[in-house]
Amino acid sequence: MFTALGIYPESLEKPFLERTSEFYAAEGIKYMQQSYVPDYLKHVEIRLHEDYDRCLLYLDMSTRRPLVATAEKQLLDRHISAILEKGFMLLMDGNHMEDLQRMNYLFSRVNALESLRQAISSYIHKTGQGIVMDEEKDKDMVSSLLDFKASLDTI
């Protein structure tokens, strides 16, 4: 009805997207402070699916792109640095492939793959340097480096 009358964009869509942005901005801050990165990434993924479904069921399909973009911006794009700082090393060290795949997928949605690439590069450098500089494990350095490379090859 709103669409047929030509009042949907101004009367419903615009205020809805504004409130959604405010809601997700607050939720993103809260969840980033209280959650582990894997849990946060799962939450973002769920929210994106919910918004897509919400458009299918209740809203005009023209709202889907701006709604999903709003969720991506407020829940993901604004928190890229925090996600990487808070959880990337733990995911890499723990070889959490499913969570790393989720991170890669979500980062690709907001054009943040360069940030992820830099984090991977930094991780490789720091971990490799740690192996080489550990004098106590000098005799195991070569095998440790090969093990590290093998673990990276699985990613």
Q: Kindly tell me if the per-residue pLDDT of 9 is higher than 80.
A: no
Q: Kindly tell me if the per-residue pLDDT of 6 is higher than 80.
A: no
Q: What is the pTM of this model?
A: 0.87
Among left, alpha and beta (phi > 0; psi -120 to 50; other), residue 95 is left
Q: Which domains does the chain have, with CATH numbers?
A: 2-153 (1.20.1310.10)
**Backbone angles phi and psi of 112, in degrees to 5:** -115, 20
- Among residues 97, 144, 90, the alpha carbon closest in space to that of 119 is found at 90
Q: What is the token pair recorded at 43?
A: 């939450």
The predicted structure's pLDDT at residue 17: 92
Residues 12 and 2 sit within 8 Å (Cβ to Cβ): yes
Q: What is the token pair recorded at 113?
A: 């793959």
The predicted structure's pLDDT at residue 3: 54
66-93 average pLDDT score: 96
With a pLDDT cut of 70, the percent of the chain lying above it is 94
Residue 82 to residue 148: CA distance in whole angstroms: 25
